[in-house]
């Protein structure tokens, strides 16, 4: 969050003890006049440039985060008129900044504070009379704000919709400095996308929230309601500075009333599946005794399985793509297995929703010739096989000895004219819709008067 704003630091003006006399038509003051030198400390955005007084008005106080880079700049005035840095050099003999014991004799410099707390900035300038103009300013470096929900845990599905006790909402806010006041807002909605537009209550962050019960007195059977909610914490100061931090969106679900069974919902999705290709997702539910208590199938690339079971511990749910076998699942499996394994403890009749099981194609297409012996006058033909997201026709290349050949692709076969007078190497590059590319191999073609042959594949080491 960029909290830089024109809260610039003001310094008191010092009076020269000696009149400055100027001669000529360009003199700013007449002989005998006593100009007042004004000194100002500005704190600006890191990338600011030009004269600092063009950025607004100075102030005695400034707020920023630890590690945030800002720019300190000195500005001067004669009377009530700001003068440029070049003009100030005619009236100021030298200057010294003291920031946390670090000294700088520059007009401007960049700086960051790595430690939270109150920091004093001192600017001293020496004028033509040898007098010292001293000014101080305060920088308040904020501790990073954080807010964490502690109760109910995310995904809690045991809330009784009929209970008069309701639900306690608890959270912890950290990073409120002594010069700040923390306030928290409770946001909640039945629609996850509307949470941050649905403010329910505000108050001090050190107090918990509560939703009075009964939540849904009409809920019966296997009906369930999910409430999405979050906390926004704001640290603010008396002079208008504020910073905000929000939690991730949490949710809790009411349990079933008058039903003995629980419902498990498993969302699934196939990544980069081409067009309307069908899949065959198989789900097997196994209890703690390794007995299969249910099997389910779906041909849809994006859907949700609803499974009903009695409350029990040690439940295993296995998911596997049985038709397009290039697909493997995540986050419940790794690259060495195609079968997802979800372990669950179903403790009560309620709704249980798992993370979305995403099936990814991590396997490149495979190239192989239709036949290895053929007539030299025949077209060469190769299979390009992909049992996943499908071959992308826009990403096929046929290369022989560094020349690119014209080809025809009618899935799954690519055909092209025999390019070899006697013998040559042929490489076919193909990519599927998941951006997996064929292995770096080639095939060797030999022609004779009566027949031609294809041998390989060979690992490419330069064709």
* pLDDT recorded at residue 217: 80
Evaluate if residue 145 carries a pLDDT over 50: yes
pLDDT band at 455 (very low <50, low <70, confident <90, very high): very high
Q: How many CB atoms lie within 10 A of CB 179?
A: 17
Percent of the chain with pLDDT over 90: 62
* pLDDT recorded at residue 20: 30
Evaluate if residue 15 carries a pLDDT over 80: no
Tell which wins on pLDDT, 261 or 402: 261
9-142 CATH pick, 2.60.40.10, 2.60.290.11, 3.40.50.1100, 1.10.3720.10: 2.60.40.10
Give the number of C-alpha atoms closer than 13 A to the C-alpha of residue 27, restricted to the C-beta side: 12
pLDDT band at 58 (very low <50, low <70, confident <90, very high): confident
Evaluate if residue 13 carries a pLDDT over 60: no
Give yes or no for a contact between 268 and 305, defined as CB atoms under 8 angstroms apart: yes
- Classified by CATH at the fold level, domain 366-459 comes out as Immunoglobulin-like (2.60.40)
Q: DSSP assignment, residue 218?
A: T
Question: What is the arithmetic mean of pLDDT over 373-401?
Answer: 92
Q: How many CB atoms lie within 10 A of CB 151?
A: 13
Q: Which of 461, 411, 459, 412 is nearest to 439 (CA)?
A: 459
The rounded mean pLDDT for the chain is 86
Place domain 146-254 in its CATH homologous superfamily.
Immunoglobulins (2.60.40.10)
Question: What is the arithmetic mean of pLDDT over 99-118?
Answer: 94
The 10s digit of each residue's pLDDT in 207-258 is 889 988 888 887 667 778 899 999 999 999 988 889 999 999 999 999 888 8
Q: Which of 305, 159, 271, 291 is nearest to 225 (CA)?
A: 159
* pLDDT recorded at residue 330: 75
C-alpha–C-alpha distance, residues 42 and 388, integer Å: 62
Instruction: Write down the domain spans for the chain.
Output: 9-142, 146-254, 262-361, 366-459
Is 52 strand, coil or helix?
helix
Q: Could you tell me the pTM of the whole model?
A: 0.64
262-361 CATH pick, 2.70.98, 2.40.350, 3.40.1350, 2.60.40: 2.60.40
* pLDDT recorded at residue 450: 84
pLDDT band at 194 (very low <50, low <70, confident <90, very high): very high
Give yes or no for a contact between 302 and 270, defined as CB atoms under 8 angstroms apart: yes
Hey, which residues does 269 pair with through a beta bridge?
A: 302, 358
Q: How many CB atoms lie within 10 A of CB 292?
A: 11
* pLDDT recorded at residue 448: 84
Does an H or E element contain 88, and which? helix 85-88
pLDDT band at 34 (very low <50, low <70, confident <90, very high): low
The 10s digit of each residue's pLDDT in 126-140 is 988 888 999 999 999
C-alpha–C-alpha distance, residues 299 and 343, integer Å: 24
Does an H or E element contain 445, and which? strand 441-447
* pLDDT recorded at residue 386: 93
The 10s digit of each residue's pLDDT in 389-440 is 999 999 999 999 878 999 999 999 999 999 988 899 999 999 999 999 999 9
pLDDT band at 337 (very low <50, low <70, confident <90, very high): low
C-alpha–C-alpha distance, residues 105 and 94, integer Å: 7
C-alpha–C-alpha distance, residues 290 and 84, integer Å: 83
Is 54 strand, coil or helix?
helix
pLDDT band at 16 (very low <50, low <70, confident <90, very high): very low
C-alpha–C-alpha distance, residues 206 and 204, integer Å: 6
* pLDDT recorded at residue 293: 93
Q: 270: burial class by Cβ within 10 Å (0-12, 13-18, 19+)?
A: buried
Question: What is the arithmetic mean of pLDDT over 323-344?
Answer: 78
Q: Could you please report the per-residue DSSP string of 232-255?
A: EEEEE-TTS-EEEEEPPPEEEEEP
């Amino acid at each position: 969050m960029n909290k830089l704003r024109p809260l610039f630091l003001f310094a008191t003006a010092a009076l020269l003890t000696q009149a400055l006399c100027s001669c000529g038509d360009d003199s700013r003051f007449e002989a005998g006049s006593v100009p007042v030198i004004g000194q100002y400390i500005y704190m600006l955005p890191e990338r600011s440039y030009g004269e600092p007084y063009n950025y607004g008005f100075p102030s005695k106080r400034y707020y920023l985060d630890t590690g945030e880079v800002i720019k300190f700049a000195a500005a001067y005035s004669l009377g009530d008129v700001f003068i440029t840095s070049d003009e100030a050099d005619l009236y100021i003999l030298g200057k010294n900044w003291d920031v946390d014991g670090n000294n700088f004799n520059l007009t401007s410099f960049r700086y960051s504070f790595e430690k939270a707390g109150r920091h004093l900035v001192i600017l001293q300038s020496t004028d033509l009379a040898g007098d010292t103009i001293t000014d101080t300013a305060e920088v308040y470096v904020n501790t990073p704000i954080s807010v964490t929900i502690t109760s109910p845990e995310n995904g809690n599905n045991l809330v009784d919709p009929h209970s008069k006790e309701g639900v306690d909402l608890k959270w912890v806010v950290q990073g409120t400095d002594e010069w700040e006041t923390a306030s928290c807002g409770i946001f909640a909605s039945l629609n996850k996308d509307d949470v941050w537009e649905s403010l329910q209550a505000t108050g001090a962050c050190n107090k918990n929230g509560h939703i009075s019960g009964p939540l849904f007195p009409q809920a019966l059977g296997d009906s369930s309601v999910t409430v999405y909610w979050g906390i926004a914490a704001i640290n603010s100061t008396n002079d208008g500075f504020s910073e905000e931090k929000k939690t991730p969106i949490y949710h809790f679900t009411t349990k079933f009333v008058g039903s003995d069974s629980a419902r498990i919902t498993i969302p699934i999705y196939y990544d980069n599946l081409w067009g309307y290709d069908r899949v065959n997702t198989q789900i097997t539910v196994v209890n703690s005794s390794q007995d299969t208590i249910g099997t389910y199938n779906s041909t849809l690339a994006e859907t949700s399985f609803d499974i009903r079971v009695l409350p029990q511990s040690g439940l295993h749910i296995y998911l596997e793509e049985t038709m397009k076998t290039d697909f493997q699942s995540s986050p419940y499996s790794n690259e060495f297995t195609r079968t997802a394994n979800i372990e669950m403890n179903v403790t009560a009749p309620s709704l249980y929703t798992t993370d979305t099981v995403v099936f990814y194609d991590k396997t490149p297409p495979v190239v192989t010739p239709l036949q290895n012996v053929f007539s030299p006058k025949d077209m060469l033909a190769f299979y390009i096989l992909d049992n996943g997201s499908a071959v992308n026709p826009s990403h096929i290349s046929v290369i022989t000895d560094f020349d690119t050949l014209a080809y025809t692709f009618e899935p799954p076969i690519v055909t092209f004219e025999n390019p070899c007078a006697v013998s040559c190497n042929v490489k076919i590059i193909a990519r599927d819709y998941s951006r997996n590319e064929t292995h770096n191999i080639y095939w060797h073609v030999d022609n004779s008067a009566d027949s031609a042959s294809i041998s390989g594949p060979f690992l490419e080491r330069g064709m």
